[in-house]
């Protein structure tokens, strides 16, 4: 935001002050807010898988009563997690933290096969909130394995979705590649018998480069029947590509552990908006960072509720004369059915 420094050399009675004090006010004089055009990317925010996962926890709370345990953050967003905690959800990292007589929900990221197996062994009532598009990748990996193919998974080591997908097959059956360099040196038992799958929330562009490297090395590699990177990830990245060249800065609303939100920051930087930042909510904004910004892009990762977008726009309105322009590149109407246990 352009600012001018006003040096006050007189006190409020018109008497010379004993020292020089300074305060900063927006350029244009006191009370005049500088103009700011907000380019609002669309689609943004919640995807169908996140919406379903939250509904599953809420329905489980209604049906079984609190507490309902949730293994891992249901979605990577602090605001969502805290809202559900306030209603009686208890978040834990592992099943052994869940008492014997309470229901447990598995997060949208998916879980290794060992997790429902352990829940059954302990006779726990569990509801699986794995996004159906993640489950689709699980089934694909299993199909390749049944057909005798070695599976190469493109994804980020340690991400819960990757742990879940690798855990669909016996140890060692899936090999993980994270980068083009990994793809160039990955070793497989039989180069004529490989397939690949991907994490659903990757960068579309980075993944295309990794896939190209794999296809160069293994011309017969089996590809997914349909793209594994999901519609929501693809659309949110495309919307950012559309507005990034027109923005002086971009705010991505999301959590630092949310893969799809972090990718949106990278996409903005690579497509013409080098000044891009992740914020979890309005309170995180460093307003000095917006000095000189006339056009601000705003988007939200697939785990961030629209309420947080509204909050950021309101905070901008308190400091700027805001005009909002929404730039839509697609209309989404995807919904997923709830599991029978909570339908
Ligand atoms: Fe499902 Fe895609 Fe949302 Fe992940 S980002 S929960 S795969 S719809």
Portion of the chain with pLDDT greater than 70, in percent: 91
Take atom 2 of ligand 1 and give the residue whose Cα is closest: 230
Q: Is it true that 3-47+231-328 and 134-217 share their CATH fold?
A: yes
The ligand 1 atom nearest the CA atom of 134: 7
Q: What is the pLDDT of residue 208?
A: 96
C-beta of 293 in contact with ligand 1 (< 6 A) = no
In the chain, the largest separation of any two C-alpha atoms, in whole Å, equals 89
Q: Give the helix, strand, coil percentages of the chain, each rounded to 5.
A: 40, 25, 40
The ligand 1 atom nearest the CA atom of 48: 8
Q: Which of 93, 19, 82 is nearest to 280 (CA)?
A: 82
- Is 8's pLDDT higher than 60? no
- Give me the mean pLDDT over the 298-309 stretch: 96
SS (H, E, C) 211-241: HHHHHHHCCCCECCCCCCCCHHHHHHHHHHH
The string of pLDDT tens digits covering residues 194-236 is 999 999 999 999 999 999 999 999 999 999 987 899 999 999 9
With the most atoms of ligand 1 within 8 angstroms of its CB, the residue from 44, 46, 49 to mutate is 49
Delimit the domains of the chain by residue range.
3-47+231-328, 48-128, 134-217
140-206-166-128 Cα dihedral, nearest 10 degrees = -70
The string of pLDDT tens digits covering residues 266-282 is 999 999 999 999 999 99
Q: Is 208 helix (H, G, I), strand (E, B) or coil?
A: helix
Taking phi over 0 as left and psi of -120 to 50 as alpha, with beta for the rest, 188 belongs to: beta
* Distance separating the N- and C-terminal Cα atoms of the chain: 49
- Fold category of 48-128 in CATH: Rossmann fold (3.40.50)
Cβ-Cβ contacts under 8 Å for 240 (sequence gap 6 or more) = 41, 250, 252, 264, 267, 268, 271, 297, 299
CATH of 3-47+231-328, one of 2.60.40.10, 3.40.190.10, 2.60.40.60, 3.40.1010.20: 3.40.1010.20
C-beta of 260 in contact with ligand 1 (< 6 A) = yes
C-beta of 301 in contact with ligand 1 (< 6 A) = no
Rounded to whole angstroms, how far apart are CA atoms 134 and 166? 12
Our answer to whether residue 161 is catalytic in this structure is yes
Q: Which of 161, 184, 266, 332 is catalytic?
A: 161
Ligand 1 centroid–CA 16 distance in Å is 63
Ligand 1 centroid–CA 332 distance in Å is 13
Strands 35-42 and 321-328, how do they pair?
Answer: parallel
From 2-6, 40-44, 67-71, 316-320, the region with the lowest mean pLDDT: 2-6
Ligand 1 centroid–CA 75 distance in Å is 10
> Per-residue confidence at 18, pLDDT binned at 50, 70, 90?
very low
Between the CA of residue 178 and those of 95, 198, 209, 257, what are the distances in Å?
28, 10, 11, 17
C-beta of 221 in contact with ligand 1 (< 6 A) = no
C-beta of 37 in contact with ligand 1 (< 6 A) = no
Rounded to whole angstroms, how far apart are CA atoms 10 and 143? 79
Q: Quick one: CA dihedral 324, 329, 330, 336, positive or negative?
A: negative
Q: Give the predicted TM-score (pTM) of the model.
A: 0.89
Mean pLDDT score of the chain, rounded to an integer?
91
- Say if CB 312 and CB 253 are below 8 A apart: yes
C-beta of 129 in contact with ligand 1 (< 6 A) = no
The string of pLDDT tens digits covering residues 63-104 is 999 999 999 998 889 999 999 999 999 999 999 999 999 999
The string of pLDDT tens digits covering residues 33-52 is 999 999 999 999 999 999 99
CATH of 134-217, one of 3.40.1010.20, 3.30.300.30, 3.30.750.24, 3.50.50.60: 3.40.1010.20
Cβ-Cβ contacts under 8 Å for 72 (sequence gap 6 or more) = 91, 92, 93, 106, 107, 109, 160
With the most atoms of ligand 1 within 8 angstroms of its CB, the residue from 51, 74, 75, 131 to mutate is 131
Take atom 8 of ligand 1 and give the residue whose Cα is closest: 49
The string of pLDDT tens digits covering residues 108-125 is 999 999 999 999 999 999
Report residue 71: phi and psi, to 5°.
-85, 115
């Amino acid at each position: 935001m352009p600012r001018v420094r006003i040096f006050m050399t007189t006190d409020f009675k018109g008497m010379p002050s004993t020292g020089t004090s300074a305060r900063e006010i927006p350029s244009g004089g006191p009370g005049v807010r500088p103009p700011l055009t907000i380019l609002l990317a669309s689609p943004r925010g919640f995807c169908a898988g996140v919406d379903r996962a939250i509904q599953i926890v809420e329905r489980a709370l209604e049906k079984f009563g609190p507490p309902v345990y949730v293994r891992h953050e249901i979605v990577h967003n602090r605001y969502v997690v805290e809202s559900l905690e306030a209603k009686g959800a208890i978040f834990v990292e592992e099943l052994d933290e869940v008492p014997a007589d309470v229901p447990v929900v598995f997060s949208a990221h998916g879980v290794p096969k060992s997790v429902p197996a352990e829940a059954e062994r302990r006779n726990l009532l569990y509801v699986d909130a794995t996004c159906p598009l993640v489950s689709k990748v699980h089934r694909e990996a299993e199909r390749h394995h049944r057909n005798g193919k070695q599976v190469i998974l493109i994804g980020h080591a340690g991400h819960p979705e990757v742990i879940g997908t690798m855990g669909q097959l016996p140890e060692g059956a899936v090999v993980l590649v994270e980068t083009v360099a990994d793809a160039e040196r990955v070793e497989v038992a039989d180069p004529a018998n490989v397939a690949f799958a991907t994490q659903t929330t990757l960068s579309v562009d980075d993944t295309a480069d990794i896939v190209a490297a794999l296809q160069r090395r293994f011309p017969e590699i089996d590809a997914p029947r349909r793209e594994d990177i999901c519609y929501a990830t693809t659309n949110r990245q495309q919307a950012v590509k559309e507005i990034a060249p027109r923005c002086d800065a971009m705010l991505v609303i999301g959590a630092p552990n949310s893969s799809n939100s972090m990718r949106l920051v990278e996409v903005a930087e690579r497509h013409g908006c080098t000044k891009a930042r992740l914020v979890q909510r309005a309170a995180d904004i460093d307003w000095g960072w917006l000095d000189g910004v006339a056009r601000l892009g705003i988007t939200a990762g697939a785990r961030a509720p629209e309420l947080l977008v509204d909050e950021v726009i309101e905070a901008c309105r308190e400091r700027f004369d805001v005009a909002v322009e929404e730039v839509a590149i697609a209309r989404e109407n995807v919904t997923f059915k709830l599991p029978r246990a909570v339908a």
